[in-house]
Amino acid sequence: MDLPFNDNKEEFLVPGVFDIPGEPAVVINELPPVSSSVDTFSPLTTVTDAEEESLDSVIGPWFEGREVRKLFGNKYYYGEITEFDGEVGRFKVKYENGNVEELEWNELDQVFQPLNLNIPLAKNIHRVH
């Protein structure tokens, strides 16, 4: 199917937000106005340590039950996050051999196993609440 050529590109670039039926996303067809004036620069808000700790205590428990795998020596051991201690910001992990270890936030990405995407999201949400 041939589409007619149109030099008027503005006709196709109507600003707005569009919901695409059947898709989990929306399309935003414009950017906010940008000023070149230095006086109008507003820096991004900074998250304070207290706010970050508060967020950690809310999100931390969501990781309970997640499967991990960690290399000890020359062997990988599987484990599960059994508890989040919000006061110190550490996760307690119990491994298949019975050993227990505490991990910090920055250590989690090295040991996480991928989520099972075959489990319905509603089941995970129900488990968290």
pLDDT of res. 128: 45
User: Which range marks the domain in which residue 114 is found?
Assistant: 58-128
Residue 64 domain-assigned?
Answer: yes
User: What total number of domains does the chain contain?
Assistant: 1
CB 60 within 8 A of CB 91: yes
For 122, the enclosing helix (H) or strand (E) is helix 121-128
Residue 69 within a domain: yes
In-domain check, residue 72: yes
Residue 23 falls inside a structural domain: no
The whole-number mean pLDDT for each consecutive block of 10 residues of the chain, a chain of 129 residues, reads 52 61 64 57 58 66 89 93 90 95 89 69 52
Whether 66 is covered by a domain: the verdict is: yes
User: CATH code at 121?
Assistant: 2.30.30.140
Q: What is the pLDDT of residue 24?
A: 65
Contacts of the segment 87-90: beta carbons below 8 A, 24+ positions apart: 89/53, 89/56, 89/60
Regarding pTM above 0.85, the answer is no
Q: Is residue 73 part of a domain?
A: yes
Is 37 part of any domain? no
Euclidean distance between CA atoms 93 and 78, whole angstroms: 10
